[in-house]
Structure 1
Amino acid sequence: MVGLNTEGTEVGHGGARRLVWQLGVGLFFLLAGCTSEVHPPSYSFYHWETQLKVNDSLLHAHQADRLYIKAFDVSWEQGRAEPAAVLQTSDNTLAVVAVPIIFITNEVFQHPADTLAEDITALLDRSFPYPFAELQLDCDWTAGTRIAYFDFLTHLRELLPGKTISCTVRLHQYRDRAVQGVPPVDRAVLMAYNTGELGRWETDNSIVDPRIISAYVKDQPPYPLPLDLAVAVYDWAAVYRRGQLAYLINEPDLAELADTARFAALGPLRYQVERSTYYGGLYLYRGDLIRREVAGRDAALRLADGLWPQIAGVKSERIIFYRMGSRQWAD
């Protein structure tokens, strides 16, 4: 791997970057004529792969003291809530604090699930090998599922007394809190990515668009929960067939895309399949369109630095990068 040492130099091993940030934000508030107790953020990472692979060099480069680890998914399958992608690891210890995350599809809360909280805590107890003081829930709830999801969160807090319960908040939930509600948890994380219309071929980059993000956060009052921030560092390719999104390919093979016998470049990061072929484990047909989308490391750092003064409150603590394991950290 290349770039870790270079990355550490550019970021200043976390501490220097935070000093620069602190001076800049201090000047911001001085010029604004107000006082604030908002602190410079510390850095953390999301781990989203089923097989645990900890990049200790990356943690060290950013002075990260905790890792948010997806423990498993829960989706609605064959008439019931079913777990999937349960974390696989043979290591019982970590050098940083572990925070388990459970991803739950919104569809789960469109159906009665009276024992969901009990089932989840039982599976977490069996499958997550690390001690934890915080549990995070990730669900893109809607106004229609808000009551069921919030009831679930309340029940979960009752089952885990003494533990911090946090959850993710999408940009539309952050802005439209009067309709979407504020979840009954101890803390929240604003997810500042997946902002564009993925289903449209014309979209430039559905992962991150600073203009769209700015429109969601601009002039919003402080969020009524301690709020952290998550930004994206990863890339994928969206495949379109007959005008419809067909597939997403994580970290597509760039050498194969350069094969002009199979793919024709239509412009920056856009391609057309010239000859039916296998790509990324999928069979693509002649005429299929491919748009590569990139959320790079440096852009994520700039976005985070710009957003933090706008969304952070007194008890805000962390900028969390999604995700550890992305090849973008090596660029």
Structure 2
Amino acid sequence: MKKILILVLFSAFLFSCKNDNKVEKVERAFYYWKSNNWNISQAEDSIVTNLGIKKLYIKFFEVDHSDAMGNFPISKTQLYSYRQDSLNIVPTVYLKNSVFLKSTKGSLDTLADNVNFLIEKYAKEKFRNHLAPSEYQMDCDWTMKSKDNYFYFLKKLKEVSKKEISCTLRLYPYKYPDKMGIPPVDKVTLMCYNLLNPLQNHSKNSILDLEELESYLDVENNYPKHIDIALPIYSWMQVYQNEQFSNVIYTDNKKVKAILKEVKPFWYSVIKDTVVNETYLRIGDKVKFEETDANKIKQTIQLLRKYVKLDKKTTISLYHLDEQQLSNYSHEELSSFYSDFSK
């Protein structure tokens, strides 16, 4: 009888631990990562409305570096006047790691001023009602060599902007904070995808491999920052022509599979000459096709709830808002990617 009581109490303890990691208030979000002449389509707008999305992380621009020009903005968004009456729009900037490998402290002071200026400029010019965001998010895949400069930049941006500053967090710095440092920001968004180098891991899904993911999430100590979550809902093809890597195509899974013949897991051969997203594919071209599906994302959520300490209010983002990619999921599946954190 005593053994039964102990088992019951132990089971209750495990159940309570899981419930302790339940997110009571999920803020539903998307990333919008398109540049140049793209704009949010009517279908994408309907998805935002029907899913009850409250936040959009919009890439305003990227920052690159060259020896001749120094640090300069590229890939600016052309998104204009997107409704913001019911949405919290977070300007997001992608900064290449080379920026912080080659910058001096003085140039980083200038960079912080320029990033803040450009965000404010685009917010006023492109969004009605003179968008006044309360948060900026910086996206950089920093390294041990660049972390000091990147962290210095984040501090300076906080000083000049007077905004809440968040940044993206890859899985490697999440697992090894002693080595990679803790960014001086108000909160981080854990990016649960792109776990492997796609050109070096030919037998695994580089977007989302659950075994690889678990190895990064299983850590001894909780990360010392508020953690939001970003999940992948995209698929892509790595195209090889004449046995050489050519490019990556984001695509509609159902349409592209009609012109592919599976050779081995993840690998296909093109069986019909065709054009996919402005890329001409020829018969015999090799393709590594990597995709995510609802089942894999739900398993990812289970791992996150098992290993990552989530606060009662957490932003869950899907990457990214794209009509073609979203067509691979039903409304119910997309909605469950948010609601599963609260069950």
Identify the TM-score tier after normalising by the shorter chain.
Answer: 0.7 to 0.9
Distance 1:270 1:81, change over 3 A: same
For 1:91 and 1:321, locate their aligned partners in 2 and report how far apart those are by CA, in whole Å: 22
Which residue of 2 is the match for residue 207 of structure 1? 207
Q: 1:291-306 counterparts in 2 under 5 A?
A: 291-306=288-303
Q: How much has 1:302 moved relative to structure 2? A: 3.9
Alignment-mate amino acid for residue 135 of structure 2: E
Which residue of 1 is the match for residue 326 of structure 2? 329
Q: 1:151-230 counterparts in 2 under 5 A?
A: 151-161=152-162, 163-200=163-200, 202-230=202-230
The worse-fitting range, judged by mean Cα deviation, of 237-246 and 151-160 is 237-246
- Picking from 2, 23, 32, the partner of 1:39 is 23
Does the CA contact (< 8 Å) of 2:214 and 2:303 recur in 1? Answer: no
The worse-fitting range, judged by mean Cα deviation, of 300-309 and 115-124 is 300-309
Q: How much has 1:303 moved relative to structure 2? A: 1.7
Percent of pairs with identical residues: 28
Q: How much has 1:57 moved relative to structure 2? A: 3.1
SS in 2 for 1:190: strand
Distance 1:279 1:38, change over 3 A: closer
4+ aligned runs moved over 6 Å, structure 1: 274-277
RMSD: 2.8
For 2:88 and 2:12, locate their aligned partners in 1 and report how far apart those are by CA, in whole Å: 32
- Picking from 53, 78, 82, the partner of 1:64 is 53
How big is each residue's C-alpha offset from its partner over 1:209-242, in whole Å with a ceiling of 9 and x where there is no partner?
1111000011331110101111100111011356
For 1:243 and 1:175, locate their aligned partners in 2 and report how far apart those are by CA, in whole Å: 35
Does the CA contact (< 8 Å) of 1:234 and 1:327 recur in 2? Answer: no
Q: How much has 1:140 moved relative to structure 2? A: 0.2
2:121 is the alignment partner of 1:108: no
How big is each residue's C-alpha offset from its partner over 1:176-218, in whole Å with a ceiling of 9 and x where there is no partner?
1111000000000110000123003623311111111000011
For 1:279 and 1:193, locate their aligned partners in 2 and report how far apart those are by CA, in whole Å: 24
Q: 1:1-331 counterparts in 2 under 5 A?
A: 30-31=13-14, 36=20, 39-40=23-24, 41-50=26-35, 51-53=38-40, 55-77=44-66, 78-91=68-81, 93-94=83-84, 95-112=86-103, 113-114=107-108, 115-128=110-123, 129=127, 130-161=131-162, 163-200=163-200, 202-241=202-241, 244-251=244-251, 255=255, 258-259=258-259, 264-267=261-264, 269-273=266-270, 279-283=276-280, 287-314=284-311, 317-330=314-327, 331=329
Distance 1:285 1:144, change over 3 A: farther
For 1:29 and 1:177, locate their aligned partners in 2 and report how far apart those are by CA, in whole Å: 33
Alignment-mate amino acid for residue 42 of structure 1: E
For 2:21 and 2:263, locate their aligned partners in 1 and report how far apart those are by CA, in whole Å: 49
SS in 1 for 2:79: coil
For 2:298 and 2:39, locate their aligned partners in 1 and report how far apart those are by CA, in whole Å: 24
How big is each residue's C-alpha offset from its partner over 1:96-123, in whole Å with a ceiling of 9 and x where there is no partner?
1111110111111111233111111111
Would you tell me which structure has more helix in proportion to its own residues?
2
In the alignment, structure 1 segments of 5+ residues that lack a partner are 1-26
Does the CA contact (< 8 Å) of 1:201 and 1:243 recur in 2? Answer: no
Query: TM-score, normalized by length of structure 2?
Result: 0.78
Alignment-mate amino acid for residue 154 of structure 2: L
**How many correspondences in the alignment?**
301
Q: How much has 1:282 moved relative to structure 2? A: 3.2
For 1:28 and 1:283, locate their aligned partners in 2 and report how far apart those are by CA, in whole Å: 57
